[in-house]
Amino acid sequence: MIQRTPYADAFTYFVMILGFILLIGPFLVIIAGATQTLQQINSVPFRFMPQGQFLENASAAWARADLARAIGNSFVMAGLITVGKVVLSAMTAFAIVYFRSPLRHFFFWAVFITLMLPLEVRVVPTYNVAADMFEPFRLLIAFVTGIEVSVEWNLLNSYAGLTLPLIATATGTFLYRQFFMTLPDELAEAARMDGSGPVRFFFEMLLPLSRTNMLALTTIMFVYGWNQYLWPLLMVTDPTYKTTMMSLSALVPSENATPDWNVTLAGTLIIMTPPLLVVALLQRWFVRGLVATEK
Amino acid sequence: MAEIDIRAARKSYGKNPTLHGIDLNFQSGEFVVILGPSGCGKSTLLRMIAGLEDITSGEIAIDGRVVNRLEPRERGCAMVFQNYALYPHMTVAGNMGYALKVAGVPKPERERRIAETAKIVGLSDYLERKPAALSGGQRQRVAMARAIIREPKVFLFDEPLSNLDAKLRVTMRAEIRKLHQRLSATSVFVTHDQVEAMTLADKLVVMNKGHVEQVGHPLDVYHRPASTFVASFIGAPAMNLFESRVEVETASAYLGGAPVRLPSSLAASLRGKDVTIGIRPEHTIVATKGPGVAAEVDFIEELGAGRVVHMLVEGEPFAATIGEDLNVAPGDRVSLDLPLEHLHVFNRETGRRIDPSDLPADAPAQHCAPLLTTP
């Protein structure tokens, strides 16, 4: 039931503008604050007009939070997570959709159930495994043979530890699965008739066809990887592996120091730029990959 | 060039049998058309030959080699799919050359063969296009070219023309026929379109509900349908079928109360039996008056080259084709003459055709035989 009356229109616009302000407001505060001087940002009322102080604030923030290293680490972490997820979920979906195995449904549901278990829920056991990778094997060996083996193997303070536990993804698998299921069966059959085996079919048919899908997934997963906070906080004690989200706290002025929120906001702006750029560059494919299926 | 032997091939999905023991032999170089309504198992049979479906039991041999356990690529078949199944991200040349690329044919040779094949199907100017930029007919050609380029022993066509418009279908049909004459590879063509079947086939296989109903030359199948199913499935408009008991006194069947004379060779042995009798609309003679089966005109279809009169005989539909000179209108009463040489007689219980040659040559003699041997 869609009616067009002036009142309904006005109300619709009101709600829309309200929502827009809610979303864009904090962002405007960051842009304005990051460009102001210490005096300007601490004056009341807050002025939303950007000033010319951004470069000074940014370099102060850069030095204070050691952002060069943190951004480098974050890029490595988000990049590895993205690549890992895009590759792994493509392969998982390929197996689930194209292989007739009696365990197909079991694996499908196993992947599905992980949707209900995000990292935050299983953070303690996951940390346990990451901190002592050999533990399950040691328990198994002890159970079978009664021999206690001592092997020191953990992922703490390493890129592997930062990324591996986050790579398995149900979302990505589903995105690929839905896409693969829209492809006609005849495509796989034609490839089979042409003599192509499963590996060839995967690389020469499925991957080129799911390009938009991969770009959409890249967008989501890069932002996801970049925004990770809890997991790096647990895995990393060595400052050389610090990520941007952890360095955000270093940017907040401490209680008795100068309230230089302008520097904090400038640092924040730097940190939020890479995911913004990724979304801006890939959003065309992002929408196409999620909404339409290209054939 | 290859002979295909199908021996007692069965297919079931779970507990549902779809094919109940198919025995067929296709000669080398033959153009075989498998015709049947949807769900009769014709595509399944084709896919079993191709290797896309497992064979539940029985054997399929290509060129004397049992292929049951061979991968599709090892069987030497090429297939054209109903929806073409072109690779959307590859150019026409890429689509055509993919099988060769997989087979490891070196690039110069591959390009030579792509150019040659493109010339055969008339696609030379489109080699760099993607399938999305082609018309339906061109896509169909790419699908054919993809099959031809491999120089397969066997061509398999799975309703390849059903996605085309009527005019293009006629053109492509002729092209497929020409192509077969040129390449003379064994071809198996699955369709539900009887015109395609009649025009293309050297050998026609009619299937129904997972059984083979009849195998033969298309004209034989048309003129001597082996069962009531084949009789009603082939020919448009469909053959008129009516049930009757053969009367002992007159050696005639009855339709609408009027006697229909049967060939004497048949009538003698069928006396008192329940039969189904068929006659094609084009063999039914319609007259505005005179003796014969009384019928009422229901409606008329104009075909341009003639007309089809749909009538009711005792409430049952009955069709006949007539020339333009006969003037009838809906509601008219007409009389039908059913010439006995054009009648088809079927066993009512089994639905199988009854031919004079099938009957015991001398029916009474058989009855007498035991008498002679009794002491």
Name every residue in A having a CB less than 8 A away from some CB of B. 184, 186-187, 189-196, 200, 204-205, 208-209, 294-295
State the best of B43, B74, B83, B142 to mutate against chain A, taking most chain A CBs within 10 Å.
Answer: B83
pLDDT at B279: 93
Residue by residue, pLDDT tens for chain B (375 residues) are: 689 999 999 999 888 889 998 999 999 999 999 999 988 999 999 999 999 999 999 999 999 899 998 988 888 899 999 888 999 999 999 999 999 999 999 999 999 999 999 998 888 899 999 999 998 889 988 999 999 898 888 999 999 888 888 888 888 899 899 889 888 889 999 999 988 999 999 999 999 999 999 999 999 999 999 999 999 999 888 999 998 888 877 778 888 888 888 887 787 788 788 899 999 999 999 988 888 888 999 999 988 888 899 999 988 899 999 887 888 889 889 999 998 889 999 988 888 998 876 655 444 433 333 333 333
pLDDT at A223: 92
pLDDT for A16 beyond 60: yes
8 Å CB contact of B52 and A189: yes
B103 inside 8 A of chain A by CB: yes
Q: From the list A187, A195, A204, which residue is nearest B85 (CB)?
A: A187
Q: How wide is the angle at C-alpha B31 spanned by C-alphas B30 and B34, nearest 5°?
A: 125
pLDDT at B370: 39
8 Å CB contact of B103 and A200: no
Q: Is the dihedral of CA A180, A197, B57, B33 positive or negative?
A: positive
Residues in A closer than 8 angstroms to B77, CB to CB, are 193
Averaged over A50-65, what is the pLDDT?
A: 85
8 Å CB contact of B98 and A209: no
Distances (CA, A) of B264 to A1, B208, B267, B268, B273: 75, 32, 5, 6, 15
Element of type H or E holding A282: helix A261-290
Give B82→chain A minimum CA distance, Å: 9
Q: From the list B84, B102, B132, which residue is nearest A194 (CB)?
A: B102
- Classified as helix, coil or strand, B137 is helix
Residues in B closer than 8 angstroms to A295, CB to CB, are 88, 132
pLDDT at B364: 41
Find the residue in B nearest to A200 (Cα). Answer: B102
Tokens of B16: 């549902």
pLDDT at A116: 85
Q: How far apart are CA B39 and CA B62, in angstroms?
A: 25
Query: Which residue in B170, B93, B27, B73 sits closest to A196, CA to CA?
Result: B73
- Classified as helix, coil or strand, B242 is strand
pLDDT at A222: 92
What does residue B135 show for φ and ψ, rounded to 5 degrees?
-80, 170
B14 inside 8 A of chain A by CB: no
Give A195→chain B minimum CA distance, Å: 5
Find the residue in B nearest to A195 (Cα). Answer: B73
Cβ pairs bridging A and B (under 8 Å): 57
Query: Which residue in A85, A29, A57, A130 sits closest to A226, CA to CA?
Result: A85
- pLDDT tens digits along A176-205: 998 899 888 889 999 999 888 899 999 999
Q: In what order do the strands lie in the sheet with B316-322?
A: B285-287, B333-337, B293-302, B307-313, B316-322
β-pairing verdict for B344-347 and B274-279: antiparallel
CB B38 within 8 A of CB B209: no
Q: From the list A186, A195, A208, which residue is nearest B85 (CB)?
A: A186
CB A216 within 8 A of CB A289: yes
Q: Which domains does chain A have, with CATH numbers?
A: 85-241 (1.10.3720.10)
Residues in A closer than 8 angstroms to B99, CB to CB, are 193-195
Instruction: Quote the radius of gyration of chain A (alpha carbons, Å).
Output: 25
Residues in A closer than 8 angstroms to B52, CB to CB, are 189, 192-193
ipTM of model:
0.80
Provide the β-strand partners of residue B187.
Answer: B31, B155
pLDDT at B96: 93
8 Å CB contact of B81 and A194: no
B106 inside 8 A of chain A by CB: no
Q: How far apart are CA B152 and CA B183, in angstroms?
A: 10
Q: How wide is the angle at C-alpha B313 spanned by C-alphas B307 and B314, nearest 5°?
A: 155
Q: How wide is the angle at C-alpha A92 spanned by C-alphas A88 and A94, nearest 5°?
A: 115
Neighbours of B180 (CB within 10 A): 19
Give A186→chain B minimum CA distance, Å: 5
Distances (CA, A) of A74 to A219, A271, A273: 15, 10, 12
Give B269→chain A minimum CA distance, Å: 53
What are the residue ranges of helices labelled H in B76-165? 92-103, 107-121, 136-148
Q: Measured in whole angstroms, how far is the alpha carbon of residue A134 from the centre of its chain?
A: 28
Residues in B closer than 8 angstroms to A186, CB to CB, are 81-85
Neighbours of B320 (CB within 10 A): 26
pLDDT at B368: 36
Find the residue in A nearest to B72 (Cα). Answer: A193
Burial class (CB in 10 A: 0-12, 13-18, 19+), B309: buried
Q: From the list A184, A186, A194, which residue is nearest B98 (CB)?
A: A194
Give B96→chain A minimum CA distance, Å: 10
CB B260 within 8 A of CB B293: yes
Q: In what order do the strands lie in the sheet with B344-347?
A: B240-245, B274-279, B344-347
Whole-prediction pTM value?
A: 0.79
Residues in B closer than 8 angstroms to A200, CB to CB, are 102
Longest dimension (CA), chain B: 89
Tokens of B321: 């084709």
- Classified as helix, coil or strand, B28 is coil
